[in-house]
Amino acid sequence: MLESVLLMVFAMIGVSLMLNLWRLIVGPSVPDRILALDTMYINTIALIILYGIGMQTQIYFEAALLIAMLGFVSTVAVCKYLLRGDIIE
């Protein structure tokens, strides 16, 4: 049963990634695109965790943690750039 449920959840997250991609392409403003990217990396973490459950291995946990950290830092850095035109003052 778990296999079919996993496939279903994979499909849900795939659809939400497509929706995010649509927002990323359409825009219309720069903060919209950053928001779409931010949501995309969170969805990617979900995909990695699901793949880990499917393969019954915990080896991808560190990768997911790293994506979470780098995604947060990059989002904040781009926002800071939009606000001030400079990242580190």
Task: Establish if 63 lies at the interface with another protein (CB under 8 A).
Answer: no
Q: Rounded CA gap, 80 and 49, in Å?
A: 30
Token readout for 27 is 């825009």
Task: Establish if 2 lies at the interface with another protein (CB under 8 A).
Answer: yes
Task: Establish if 42 lies at the interface with another protein (CB under 8 A).
Answer: yes
Greatest C-alpha distance within the chain: 54
Q: Rounded CA gap, 56 and 68, in Å?
A: 21
Contacts (CB under 8 A) with another protein, residues 43-62:
43, 45-46, 49-50, 52-53, 56, 58, 61
CB 33 to another protein: min, Å: 11
